[in-house]
Amino acid sequence: MAEPLSNAGPLLSVEEVHKRFALPHGLMRRLAGKPPQAVNALNGVNLQIRRGETVGIVGESGCGKSTLARCLVRLLEPDNGRVRFEGQDVGELKGAARRAFNRRVQMIFQDPYSSLNPRMTVRQILSEALSVHRMRPAAQIPERIAELLELVRLPQDAADRYPHEFSGGQRQRIGIARALAVEPDVLVADELVSALDVSVQAQVVNLLLQLQEKLSLTVVFVAHDLRLVRHIAHRVAVMYLGKIIEIGPTDRLFSQPRHPYTRALLDAAPELDPARRGGQAATRGELPSPVNLPAGCLFSTRCPHAFERCFKERPLLSPRGPEHRASCHLEHFGLPEAAA
Amino acid sequence: MTLALPPSARRRAFRLPRKLPAPLLGGGFILLCGLILAVFPSLFAPYDPLAFDYNALMAPPSWAHPFGTDNFGRDVLSRVIHATTIDLQMAVFATIGPFVFGTAIGAVVGYVGGTTEAIFGRIVDAVITFPFLVLVIAIVAVLGPGLGNMYIAVGVVDWVFYARLIAAEVKVQKRLDYADAGRAMGYSPARIIFRHLLPNAITPAMVYLMTDMALAILLGSSLGYLGLGAQPPAAEWGVQIADGKNFMATAWWMSVFPGIAIVIAGLGFSLLGDGLAELMRTKR
């Protein structure tokens, strides 16, 4: 794992981003005078991503991690708050500046079966990206395509074939090659390998790691698989109900989680060795509906440690050590002596 | 560590599959024959389609007149062959315009969605409320009979069917990740709609186009039958059937042979449509 290349100001920063998706406001609800409802996908997310680092974003399905990824590449517009790239508000970019942003912040999608246009050959997919962003003069495009295929370790004769002729892992490599074609600074990988066989996952993830080092990419790695994130990320952010509830350096966060939810996530990871299996479930109940959020701490409804204050007041993301922050009223949670 | 692919996968781009679907070949063959007849009718027709022969009025099929003659002594075979020109022309001209226009509108409407789609939906409703034939007949009646006006009348009505098909398909396609990938790449909406989504959305419209060409021949024949399409004495299958209807009992051949010609042409287009659908089926 490479160290982050620089500690200068954040390359990409997310400031208090909210995103709601309106639910259909049916006639019966309207007649009954009920207000329109919405899913609260993101509830004030703050995140700084430095140049050259890999940030893992983990959480259960429905915690808003994909929504956050889509806000980062501006596939979705935040309702409130902003995303800044090199200090510039991404929402205000227009024309050429907007295209430049699109080029520099690329996304790799979860589903390798729908993320490639089935009617375009690999060559067409790559050369379109190259020519739209004028990455190379037309004469040099074939050469560049050959380079890209080599970069993602696909055979040269892959260029003239259609996506359906490839396996899932190979398709994901094509997706990576497409993103790399425009020489981005940031790669947002949304569940890069969750659709792949376990045997192929490691190959693709290691490829991403090597490419990151080779091209000094900044990577936002969205996943639900903790082992993968631990393997690849410098820092990890844990999301719950559209909020980051803990963020810290990977080693610290995994060895000493400071939020009950992170603890529960780590405990829930399947363990092969029976001696290391935990005895009790660390959470109870179901994920609350993102339509009606809990009043206090978002995790209070499921937290085994919740006390009165947790149901009334939402805790802030506050420091727990170097670069380590958690949002929990139990400031000493996770510390060895705090158990007493 | 390059990954080897099975040799069976080594197919180059743009090459057709070795085995073309049988319906495509059958339909293509029928229509190719029709096209040859349509372009060079005089090479195949034994007689002048307009020449009267008062010595052979309503002659039954014979070696001299395989399809018989009509009530003016005109050779039915020659008239059926010459009618190919007009009928195939109707099939193409009446449908290409609506196909192109409807596809473009439908693609944009399906992609944009929202209010545009709602307005479009009401326009579609307004058009399809009227029975197709009645609406076309009404428009032709206003514009005046003739082939050119028939194309216009069909075009005014027919585009909504293409637009509706394409809009529905584009709505499905635009939610797939490859459309988002295009947006994340910063591609323009026009590029995403016409280069990415449309090729994946157009198959049903292409298949419908083939069916529609067969329907256009039937419609042209219906209008010809009513005297609103091709004008006498020009040979056209519908007009011929209409002319023969008064003599069904005594000279069945006047209507039956043009009728068979319509059936064969319709079959050709339908087979071609089926074959195209099979050929263009997206592989995932």
Domain borders along chain B are: 21-38+66-280
Predicted confidence (pLDDT) at residue A65 exceeds the cutoff of 60: yes
Question: CATH assignment of B21-38+66-280?
Answer: 1.10.3720.10
Instruction: Band the pLDDT of B17: cuts 50, 70, 90.
Output: low
CB contact under 8 A, B186 and A133: yes
How many C-beta atoms surround the C-beta of residue B71 within 10 A? 15
Of chain A, the percentage scoring pLDDT greater than 90 comes to 62
Per-residue model confidence (pLDDT) at position A31: 84
Per-residue model confidence (pLDDT) at position A8: 62
Per-residue model confidence (pLDDT) at position A6: 47
**CA B226 to each of CA A275, B137, B142, B218, B253: distance values in angstroms, whole numbers, following the listed order:** 89, 9, 15, 12, 20
**What is the interface pTM, i.e. ipTM, of the complex?**
0.85
User: In chain B, which residue's Cα lies nearest the Cα of A164?
Assistant: B284
Residues of chain B with Cβ-Cβ distance to A103 below 8 Å are: 185-186
Q: What is the DSSP code string of A59-84? A: --TTSSHHHHHHHHTTSS--SEEEEE
Confirm if B219 and B133 have CB atoms less than 8 A apart.
Answer: yes
CB contact under 8 A, A132 and B185: yes
Predicted confidence (pLDDT) at residue B8 exceeds the cutoff of 60: no
What is the rounded CA–CA span in Å between residue B68 and residue B57? 9
CB contact under 8 A, A165 and B5: yes
Instruction: Band the pLDDT of B124: cuts 50, 70, 90.
Output: very high
For the entire predicted model, the pTM comes to 0.81
Of chain A, the percentage scoring pLDDT greater than 70 comes to 92
Segment B171-198 mean pLDDT:
94
The length of chain B, given as a count of residues: 284
Per-residue model confidence (pLDDT) at position A75: 93
CB contact under 8 A, B5 and A98: no
A327-332, long-range: CB < 8 A, 24+ apart = A327/A243, A327/A244, A327/A245, A327/A246, A327/A259, A327/A297, A328/A245, A328/A258, A328/A259, A328/A260, A328/A297, A329/A297, A330/A260, A330/A305
**CA B224 to each of CA A61, B45, B156, B211, B218: distance values in angstroms, whole numbers, following the listed order:** 63, 22, 19, 20, 9
Segment B208-215 mean pLDDT:
88
Residue A6 lies in a domain: no
Per-residue model confidence (pLDDT) at position A282: 59
Per-residue model confidence (pLDDT) at position A278: 55
C-alpha distance from A75 to closest chain B C-alpha (Å): 6
What is the domain-level CATH number for residue A274?
3.40.50.300
Instruction: Band the pLDDT of A122: cuts 50, 70, 90.
Output: very high
Residue A5 lies in a domain: no
Per-residue model confidence (pLDDT) at position B207: 87
Segment B270-275 mean pLDDT:
89
- The 8-class DSSP code of residue B165 comes to H
Confirm if A266 and A257 have CB atoms less than 8 A apart.
Answer: yes
- The 8-class DSSP code of residue A287 comes to P
Size of interface A-B (CB pairs under 8 A): 91
Confirm if A262 and A253 have CB atoms less than 8 A apart.
Answer: yes
Specify which residues A19 forms β-bridges with: A42
Whether A98 contacts chain B with CB within 8 A = yes
Task: Considering only the beta carbons, identify the residue of A109, A121, A129 that sits closest to B13.
Answer: A121
Which of B1, B5, B11 has the highest number of chain A CBs within 10 A, making it the mutation to test binding with A?
B5
Average pLDDT, chain B: 87
Q: Residue A224 is which amino acid? A: H
Token pair listed for A46: 């703050």
Instruction: Mean pLDDT check: name the lowest of A35-39, A55-59, A145-149.
Output: A35-39
Query: Tens digit of pLDDT for each residue in A163-185?
Result: 999 999 999 999 999 999 999 99
Per-residue model confidence (pLDDT) at position A70: 94
Q: Which of residues 117-176 of B touch A (CB under 8 A)?
A: 176
Order of strands, sheet of A88-89, starting from the edge strand that comes earlier in the sequence? A38-49, A12-22, A80-85, A88-89
State the residue for tokens 């395989």: B66
Segment B53-71 mean pLDDT:
86
Residue B53 zone, left/alpha/beta (φ > 0; ψ -120 to 50; rest): beta
Instruction: Band the pLDDT of B214: cuts 50, 70, 90.
Output: confident
Which ranges in chain B belong to alpha helices (H)?
Answer: 22-39, 41-44, 76-112, 114-129, 132-143, 147-173, 177-184, 189-191, 198-201, 203-225, 237-244, 253-280
Task: Considering only the beta carbons, identify the residue of A106, A160, A164 that sits closest to B12.
Answer: A160
Per-residue model confidence (pLDDT) at position A281: 55
Predicted confidence (pLDDT) at residue B232 exceeds the cutoff of 80: no
**How many domains does chain A fold into?**
1
Query: Tens digit of pLDDT for each residue in A222-241?
Result: 998 888 899 899 999 999 99
What is the rounded CA–CA span in Å between residue A172 and residue A167? 9
Predicted confidence (pLDDT) at residue A250 exceeds the cutoff of 90: yes
What is the rounded CA–CA span in Å between residue B118 and residue B170? 15
C-alpha distance from B269 to closest chain A C-alpha (Å): 25
Segment A214-225 mean pLDDT:
92
Which ranges in chain A belong to alpha helices (H)?
Answer: 27-31, 65-72, 95-104, 122-132, 141-151, 168-181, 198-215, 226-232, 250-255, 260-268, 308-312
Per-residue model confidence (pLDDT) at position A276: 58
State the residue for tokens 């790449």: B185
Domain containing A75: what range? 15-27+39-339
Residues of chain A with Cβ-Cβ distance to B180 below 8 Å are: 70, 75, 107, 109, 115
B237-244 vs B76-112: helix crossing angle, rounded to 10: 130
User: In chain A, which residue's Cα lies nearest the Cα of B173?
Assistant: A114
Whether a cis peptide bond, with omega within 30° of 0, leads into B233 is: yes
Task: Considering only the beta carbons, identify the residue of A102, A109, A170 that sits closest to B177.
Answer: A109
State the residue for tokens 């705090």: A338
- Phi and psi torsions of A252, nearest 5°: -60, -45
Average pLDDT, chain A: 88
Residue A9 lies in a domain: no
Per-residue model confidence (pLDDT) at position B282: 63
Residue A296 lies in a domain: yes
Predicted confidence (pLDDT) at residue B27 exceeds the cutoff of 80: yes
Predicted confidence (pLDDT) at residue A248 exceeds the cutoff of 60: yes
Segment B191-209 mean pLDDT:
92
Predicted confidence (pLDDT) at residue B134 exceeds the cutoff of 70: yes
Of chain B, the percentage scoring pLDDT greater than 70 comes to 93
Whether the CA torsion B141, B143, B145, B150 is positive or negative: it is negative
Instruction: Band the pLDDT of B10: cuts 50, 70, 90.
Output: very low
Per-residue model confidence (pLDDT) at position B279: 83
Per-residue model confidence (pLDDT) at position A273: 65
